[in-house]
Amino acid sequence: MATKTETKAAPKAKAAAPKAKAAAPKAGGATKPNALQQPLKPSAELGAIVGTSPLPRGEVVSKVWDYIKKNNLQNPQNKREILADDKLKKVFGKDKCTMFEMNKHLAAHLKS
For residue 96, how many other CB atoms are within 10 A of its CB?
Answer: 14
55-56 sheet: strands from edge to edge: 55-56, 39-42, 110-111
Q: What is the DSSP letter of 11?
A: P
Record the pTM.
0.67
Which residue did the predictor score with more confidence, 10 or 111?
Answer: 111
Closest to 64 (Cα-Cα) out of 92, 36, 35, 94: 92
Residue 89: pLDDT over 60? yes
**In the Cβ-directed half-sphere of 14, how many Cα atoms lie within 13 Å?**
3
Q: The domain 36-112 belongs to what CATH superfamily?
A: SWIB/MDM2 domain (1.10.245.10)
pLDDT in tens, 9-68: 666 656 555 555 555 555 555 677 676 788 889 999 999 999 989 999 989 999 999 999
